[in-house]
Amino acid sequence: MRLLWVFFAACAVTFAAGVWDENQTKAHQSGEFLRFGFYKLDGAVKGNTLLVVGGVHGDEPGGYFAPALLATHYRIKKGSLWIVPNLNFESIIRNRRGVFGDMNRKFAALKESDTDYETVQKIKEIIDDPQVKMVLNLHDGHGFYRERWENTIFNPKAWGQTLVIDQKTLELDSVPFGNMDELATKITENLNKRLKDDLHYFSVRNTETRNKDEAMRLSLTYYAVTHLKPAFGQETSKNINALAVKVEYHLRLIEEMMKLMDIEYERDFELNFKGIQKALNSYGKVWINDKMAFNLIDLRNVLRFIPLDKNKEDRFIFNHPLGAVKRREDRVDIYIGNQRVSSLYPQYFDQNCSINLVQVDVDGRTRRLNMGMTFAFADYFKVIPREDLRINVIGFSAEGVKNESGIKIAKKDLETRFSEDVGGKMYRVEFYRNEDFCGTMNARIK
Ligand SMILES: [Zn+2]
C-alpha cells in the first residue's frame, strides 16, 4: 500500500513523505480547498486494473469510507486496484453533496474558472490511463430502487441499492468487460444471496444515458463509457442508517468485481458488521510539524494550549485517507471524513528547534526516543535532563518548578483532566529550547 500522490490547492504546503513510518500510507492535507488522494495497489503478478472512485458526493459516507478501507486494509496479489477515496474532499469534510455544485454533472464541458475544474481534469486523466480496464463510481443514493412505484422510498426513481449502467454493452469486439449489463446482473445476483435484510436487494438500473438521460450525460461514468472504459455507478441506500452496512455492500460489490476481473486480493479484517465497524473506527494518527503526534482514537474533542507554529504554517500528516484539518479563527479542527474528531486550541510558538533521541527513564530502563513517539510506563517516567532543553509535562505540576526534566513522575502525580484521551491514560510531554517549541512525546499509563 502506498500513496502515489496527493494533489494540492496552490496555496498548500508541500507533501512530506516517509518522515514517520515508511510502512504507513500518509495523506497530508492543508490549504484552503482539499484535494483528493490517489492510491495504487499493484499486485506482484500483472493483470487487470480496476479504478474505484469514492466521494464524488460529499454527503454519501458509505461511498467514501468503503474506498478508504480499500486503500488501507487490502493487499493486491494479482492485477491492480487503483483508488481515489475522496474525489470531492472539500465537500466530504463539510458533509455536503457539492460545495461548488454537483461534481457529477461536470464531466462534459466545464469552465476553467470552476473551482472543481482541476479535480475533474485530474480524475479524467486517471480514467483515461490505458491500464484502467473498469471504473466504479461509489454513491449512497436515495431510497430503494423498484421497477414499480410503491411509495416515495421504494420506486423506479430511487437510486439506492443499484448498479447503474449507462448502456448495456460497449464495443464488445474491442473492449474487455464491455458486456456491462451481463456483468452487473452476475454481480447483483451474487450479492443478493447474502443480504442483511431482504428489502436491501440490489438491481441493475440502466439509465440508457445516450438516448434518455440528459443529466447523466454529464456524469463521471458516462465520461468513462464514451472513452471506451466500462463503468458502473454503485449505489447503496441513504435509507440504511448503519454506515458499516453500507460499507459492507460497497466492499462486497467491489470484491465481486475483482473476482470477475481476476484481481486477487487479501483483506486484514472480517467482512462482517463487527469487523467493518472495527476497521472504520481505526482513525490512526495525525503528525504535526514532524514534532508531535496524536492518536485519533479516543482523543478528547477539545484540546487546549497545543504548541502550533507562530507563522501558521503547520503541516498535518494523517495515515487515514480521509484525514484533514480546517483552520478556524481560534482553533484547528481535525476531521476524518465528515466526522470532526477534535478541535485544537493553539498556543503559538516559534518552531526553530529540531531534536531527536532524547533519553527517558521509563520504569528504570533508559530509552532513547524521538519526538512524536508514545512510550508506555507502569510505575514512573523521568526525562533525563539536557542542558539546552526545558520540559513541561501536561497534567503534572510541582510548586516553583519551571523545568520538569529529572523529576520522577508517577501515575498518581498526573491529573486525569489534562489527559489527551477520554480514558485518562495519555499525557503530553513537551520539549522547549529557549522560546522555541521542539516537540512532544506521549506518555501512556500501562
Ligand atoms: Zn451520489
Residue 271 CA to ligand 1 center (angstroms) comes to 24
Residue 5: its pLDDT value, please?
45
d(CA 139, ligand 1 centre) in Å: 4
Q: How far is the CA of 55 from the centre of ligand 1 (A)?
A: 8
| Ligand 1 geometric centre to CA of 199 (Å) | 20
| pLDDT exceeds 50 at position 236 | yes
At 128, phi and psi to the nearest 5?
Answer: -70, -15
Average pLDDT over residues 295-314: 94
Query: In angstroms, what is the span from residue 326 Cα to ligand 1's centroid?
Result: 24
Better pLDDT: 5 or 287: 287
Number of other CB atoms surrounding residue 267 within 10 Å: 15
Nearest to 137 by CA among 241, 42, 60, 46: 60
Instruction: Return the ∠ at Cα 233 (arms to 337 and 67), rounded to 5°.
Output: 30
- Going by C-alpha positions, the residue among 133, 103, 137 that lies closest to residue 118 is 103
Distances (CA, A) of 180 to 53, 165, 213, 233, 292: 18, 7, 18, 11, 49
With 50 as the cut, is the pLDDT of residue 30 above it?
no
Whole-number Å distance, alpha carbon 222 to ligand 1 midpoint, is 14
**From CA 259, how far away is CA 79, in angstroms rounded?**
11
Distance from residue 77's CA to the centre of ligand 1 (Å): 31
The CATH architecture of the domain made up of 33-281 is: 3-Layer(aba) Sandwich (3.40)
- Measure the N-to-C terminal CA separation of the chain; round to a whole number of Å: 31
Task: Compute, in angstroms, the gap from residue 220 CA to the centroid of ligand 1.
Answer: 11
pLDDT for 33 equals: 79
How sure is the predictor about 216, in pLDDT bands with cuts at 50, 70 and 90?
confident
Predicted confidence at residue 400, as pLDDT, reads: 87
Distance separating alpha carbons of residues 50 and 177, to the nearest angstrom:
11
Q: What's the 84 CA to ligand 1 centre distance in angstroms?
A: 15
In angstroms, the CA 51 to CA 220 distance is 12
Distance 54 CA to ligand 1 centre (A): 10
Task: Look up the pTM and report it.
Answer: 0.90
User: Cα–Cα–Cα angle for 244, 274, 236, nearest 5°?
Assistant: 20
CA 267 / ligand 1 centre spacing (Å): 26
Confidence of residue 335 (pLDDT cuts 50, 70, 90): very high
Q: Report the separation in Å between the CA atom of 56 and the middle of ligand 1, taken as the mean of its atom positions.
A: 7
What would the pLDDT profile of 138-194 be if each residue is shown by its tens digit?
Answer: 999 999 999 999 999 999 999 999 999 999 999 888 999 999 999 999 999 999 999
Q: How confident is the model at residue 214 (pLDDT cuts 50, 70, 90)?
A: confident
Residue 64 main-chain phi, psi, to 5 deg: -120, -25
What are residue 373's DSSP bridge partners? none
Mean of the per-residue pLDDT values of the chain? 91
- Does pLDDT of 383 surpass 90? yes
Place of cell 533521541: 357
Q: How far is the CA of 180 from the centre of ligand 1 (A)?
A: 20
Ligand 1 centroid to residue 332 C-alpha, Å: 29
Q: Phi and psi for 398 in degrees, rounded to 5?
A: -130, 135
| Contact between residue 100 and residue 9 where contact means Cβ atoms under 8 Å apart | no
Per domain, the residue ranges of the chain are: 33-281, 358-445
State the pLDDT confidence band at 19, using cuts at 50, 70 and 90: very low
Helix (H, G, I), strand (E, B), or coil: what is residue 279?
A: helix
Q: What is the pLDDT of residues 422-438, one digit of tens each?
A: 999 999 999 999 999 99
* Confidence class for position 34, pLDDT limits 50, 70, 90: confident
Tell me the Ramachandran region of residue 330: left when phi exceeds 0, alpha when psi lies from -120 to 50, beta otherwise.
alpha
Q: How far is the CA of 360 from the centre of ligand 1 (A)?
A: 51
Question: How far, in Å, is the centroid of ligand 1 from the Cα of 407?
Answer: 56
pLDDT of residue 269: 97
Cα(339) to ligand 1 centroid in Å equals: 19
CA of 103 from ligand 1 middle (Å) equals: 10
Q: How confident is the model at residue 215 (pLDDT cuts 50, 70, 90)?
A: confident
How large is the average pLDDT for residues 281-287?
A: 95
Please, are residues 342 and 427 in contact by the beta-carbon 8 Å criterion? no
CA of 57 to the centre of ligand 1 (A): 5
Res. 355 pLDDT band, cuts 50 70 90? very high
Whole-number Å distance, alpha carbon 303 to ligand 1 midpoint, is 35
Torsion of CA 54, 57, 62, 65, to 10 degrees: 50
**Side-chain half-sphere CA neighbours of 251 within 13 A:** 27
The whole-number pLDDT of residue 308 equals 96
Q: On the CB side of 346, how many CA atoms lie within 13 Å of its CA?
A: 21
CA–centroid distance, residue 35 to ligand 1 (Å): 18
pLDDT band at 32 (very low <50, low <70, confident <90, very high): low
What's the gap in Å between 64 CA and the centre of ligand 1?
Answer: 11
Q: How confident is the model at residue 12 (pLDDT cuts 50, 70, 90)?
A: very low
Distance 343 CA to ligand 1 centre (A): 29
d(CA 58, ligand 1 centre) in Å = 8
